[in-house]
Amino acid sequence: MSEEKVKGPTTTGHVWDDDLQELTNPLPRWWIWGFYITFVFTVVYWLFYPAWPIGSGFTKGVPGLNSITYTATTVDGKEVEKTTHWNMRSKYMVEMNELHAAQKQWFDKVAATPYEDVAKDADLMQFVNSAGKTLFSDNCAPCHQAGGQGKIGFSPNLTDDHWQYGGTYEEISHTIVAGRQGYMPPFKEVLKDEQIGQLANYVLSMSGEPHDAAAATAGAALFQSETAACYYCHGADAKGRTQMGSANLTDKIWLWADIPAEKTAEAKVDAVKKIISGGLARGVMPYWNERLKPEQIKLLTVYVHDGLGGGK
Amino acid sequence: MNFNHDKIERNLGILLILTMLAISAGGLVEIVPLFFIKETVEKVEGVRPYSALELRGRDIYIREGCYTCHSQMIRPFRDEALRYGHYSLAAESKYDHPFQWGSKRTGPDLARVGGKYSNDWHTQHLTAPRSLVPQSVMPNYPWLATTALDYSDIEKRMMALRTTGVPYSKTNAEYERNVKEFGETVAKSLHIPDAEKNLIAQAQLGNYDTNPDNITEMDALVAYLQMLGTLVDFKKYDDDYFVKFR
């Protein structure tokens, strides 16, 4: 700023602390014009977008200037074309239409291809793997972990070839659509502590863990007896029933009793005893048919079966 | 009399009054019309006020500052719909005082988290998030599962919300009105004189913290999380039904 301007006569007129004065130099021209242009902009905005509240409603912009056309799906599945004024939600409809159009060829192909053939089609499988990974991360990974390896005490491993509820495409799909909830009653009221110990030893013996042989023999008899009736749910061969998700007790895979982490034979027996006496009701796999669309569920089914591997 | 800058700036009282007038003009123009616009609140079935237990859960949610990392507002954008589900409706938070929309997302949006996970998962996740999601930056809240829920003032909490217009019922007439509007089951859960009884019943039946022996803060918080975004059944509406409210 030049010396003359400061000395010039254009001040607000009042003086503070003897000699402090406030200048009233005009604002720069470009700034003033910018200010006026915002006025013009708002008027244009009112013409194009929902703006002024009036009574119980609001102005929706000038018809014709701001119309937007999208395809809607009605409750009974009919597709209808609609035109309305621009707003966030009609714009959203257009965005979703575009997304649908972009993915349609892939989803249509997945829907039309029998499960078995999807895995054989390399291009299609590439789509399943990339879309499936996103869906899995957003919805399943917090329980089944990022790679589907599961977590003892919470959720089963989906990458191995052991399936509590069955590993065919149809069974996996049913698991995802309707959810699963494993239930085993508590036995602490029905059985004596000694009997529970014998059963635990028998259960451990079946998967080759250290155990007391005499107790295990007594446990085997109890397992098949009407008193404990373990066979009723786990099957006489103790391999489990996929209809109810009762665990296969003959393999080395554990979901609830953390046998691999227990170091001593006593601790392993205690871990199994705890399950038998307390029962199990924590195994809740949520249902997804309201959160995910049928085509997404089909895609996830193939992703779990072939992408993560181990499907039957 | 010349009423100029000089006068205003030297007179604190006038300066204060004029400043307030200038600011409230903007506020009034923006806020007042919102009290009268009815057309923007969607007409949907199913939205109801919180039950006593859920309400306590919501208060704990606010007390713990969950909103500093979580929003409850799914915006009408494609990427949000893909991750979180249907965009949030104004009607869905009409009984929320204060609403929990938020704009800070360190963690995911929670507007539709209800039913996504099991009670067991929520209890474990709130106690120790990293035990389930190794890369999580969410704090541990281990005291929720061990602190008994204080529900001695539940009636007062509901009365306070009733004052702001939430239809909790105090009298029989109000109860009957709720039966007409929400049906009997919901109306019962909104009746203030039965609040304590209802809260205990819901906590015992739901067993949200997977420990049936006591009612903890975890029970309340999980009950709240499990109902978020579950009230409106979107299958009942054309997928563009909500466009006309904007």
User: Using CA atoms, how far apart are residues A18 and A35, in angstroms rounded to an integer?
Assistant: 35
User: How does the average pLDDT of chain B come out, rounded?
Assistant: 93
CA B24, distance to chain mean position in Å, is: 28
- Which value does ipTM take for this structure? 0.86
Residue B181: partners with Cβ closer than 8 Å, 6 or more residues away: B167, B187
How high is the pLDDT of residue B211?
82
Average pLDDT of the segment spanning B11-39: 89
Chain B nearest-CA distance from A224, in A, is 31
- HSE on the CB side for A266, CA within 13 Å? 0
DSSP H stretches of helix in A113-192: 115-120, 122-139, 141-144, 169-178
Q: Are residues B11 and B100 in the same domain?
A: no
Residue A92 touches partner B, C-beta closer than 8 Å:
yes
Residue A56 touches partner B, C-beta closer than 8 Å:
yes
Nearest residue in A to B237, CA atom: A75
Report which of B79, B95, B117, B73 is spatially closest to residue B225, judged by C-alpha positions: B117
Average pLDDT of the segment spanning B26-42: 85
Q: Are residues B21 and B119 in the same domain?
A: no
How high is the pLDDT of residue A8?
57
Domain count, chain B: 2
Chain A nearest-CA distance from B83, in A, is 7
Nearest residue in A to B77, CA atom: A92
- Position B117 in a domain: yes
Query: Is residue A70 helix, strand or coil?
Result: strand
Q: Do A72 and B246 touch (CB under 8 A)?
A: no
- Split at pLDDT 50, 70, 90, the class of B2 is low
Q: Which domain holds residue B6?
A: 2-36
Angle at A269 between CA A265 and CA A273, to 5 degrees: 170
Phi, psi of A46 (to 5 degrees): -60, -35
How high is the pLDDT of residue A5?
47
- Position B210 in a domain: yes
How high is the pLDDT of residue B34?
80
Full-model pTM? 0.90
Residue B213 touches partner A, C-beta closer than 8 Å:
no
User: CB-CB: which of A58, A141, A284 is closest to B37?
Assistant: A58
Residue B6 has pLDDT above 80, yes or no: no
Q: Are residues B58 and B17 in the same domain?
A: no
pLDDT (tens digit per residue) in B210-240: 888 899 999 999 999 999 999 999 999 999 9
Q: Are residues B139 and B239 in the same domain?
A: yes
pLDDT (tens digit per residue) in A224-233: 999 999 999 9
User: CB-CB: which of A56, A91, A141 is closest to B36?
Assistant: A56
Angle at B210 between CA B209 and CA B214, to 5 degrees: 70
From first to last of its 312 residues, what are the pLDDT tens digits of chain A? 444 445 556 787 778 888 888 888 888 999 999 999 999 999 999 999 988 888 888 899 888 888 999 999 999 999 999 999 999 999 999 999 999 999 889 999 999 999 999 989 999 999 999 999 999 999 999 999 999 999 999 999 999 989 999 999 999 999 999 999 999 999 999 999 999 999 999 999 999 999 999 999 999 999 999 999 999 999 999 999 999 999 999 999 999 999 999 999 999 999 999 999 999 988 999 999 989 999 999 999 999 999 998 888
Q: Are residues B28 and B86 in the same domain?
A: no
Average pLDDT of the segment spanning B109-136: 95
Report which of A188, A209, A185 is spatially closest to residue A280, judged by C-alpha positions: A185
Both ends of chain B: CA-CA distance in Å?
51
- Position B196 in a domain: yes
DSSP H stretches of helix in A9-121: 29-48, 88-112, 115-120
Q: Which domains does chain A have, with CATH numbers?
A: 2-48 (no CATH), 110-181+285-307 (1.10.760.10), 193-281 (1.10.760)
- Position B44 in a domain: no
Average pLDDT of the segment spanning B31-50: 88
Q: Are residues B118 and B197 in the same domain?
A: yes
- Name residue B2's beta-bridge partners: none
- The CATH number linked to B99 is 1.10.760.10
Q: Do A53 and B239 touch (CB under 8 A)?
A: no
User: CB-CB: which of B38, B116, B120 is closest to A282?
Assistant: B120
- Name the region of A191 (left: φ>0; alpha: ψ -120 to 50; beta: rest): beta
Structure tokens given for B139 = 């704090």
pLDDT: is A4 or B242 the higher one?
B242
Q: Are residues B125 and B234 in the same domain?
A: yes
In 3-state terms chain A splits into helix, strand, coil percentages (rounded to 5) of: 45, 10, 40
Q: Are residues B110 and B224 in the same domain?
A: yes
- Split at pLDDT 50, 70, 90, the class of B180 is very high
- Position B45 in a domain: no
User: Using CA atoms, how far apart are residues B246 and B237, in angstroms rounded to an integer?
Assistant: 16
User: How does the average pLDDT of chain A come out, rounded?
Assistant: 91
User: Using CA atoms, how far apart are residues B27 and B37, in angstroms rounded to an integer?
Assistant: 16
Q: Are residues B93 and B158 in the same domain?
A: yes
Residue B64: partners with Cβ closer than 8 Å, 6 or more residues away: B141
> Going along chain A, which residue ranges are E strands?
11-16, 20-23, 53-54, 57-58, 67-73, 79-85, 180-181, 284-285
Specify the pairing of strand A11-16 against strand A20-23: antiparallel
Residue A187: partners with Cβ closer than 8 Å, 6 or more residues away: A196, A228, A276, A277, A279
User: Using CA atoms, how far apart are residues A21 and A24, in angstroms rounded to an integer?
Assistant: 10
Residue B137 has pLDDT above 70, yes or no: yes
Chain A nearest-CA distance from B86, in A, is 9
Q: Do B240 and A72 touch (CB under 8 A)?
A: yes
- Position B226 in a domain: yes
Chain A interface, mutation test: which of B120, B207, B228, most A Cβ atoms within 10 Å?
A: B120
Contacts of B121 in chain A (CB under 8 A): 142-143, 154, 284
User: Using CA atoms, how far apart are residues A81 and A95, in angstroms rounded to an integer?
Assistant: 14
| Whether the bond into B139 is cis, omega within 30 of 0 | no
How high is the pLDDT of residue A9?
66
Residues found in chain B: 246
Q: Do B236 and A75 touch (CB under 8 A)?
A: yes
Q: Are residues B81 and B14 in the same domain?
A: no
How high is the pLDDT of residue A259?
93
Chain B interface, mutation test: which of A23, A90, A143, most B Cβ atoms within 10 Å?
A: A143
pLDDT: is B179 or A65 the higher one?
B179
Q: Are residues B28 and B70 in the same domain?
A: no
- Position B42 in a domain: no
H helices, E strands: number in chain B: 10, 0
Q: Do B117 and A286 touch (CB under 8 A)?
A: yes
User: Using CA atoms, how far apart are residues B220 and B156, in angstroms rounded to an integer?
Assistant: 17
Whether the CB-CB separation of B51 and B182 falls below 8 Å is answered with: no
Report which of B45, B152, B161, B39 is spatially closest to residue B99, judged by C-alpha positions: B161
Q: Are residues B147 and B220 in the same domain?
A: yes
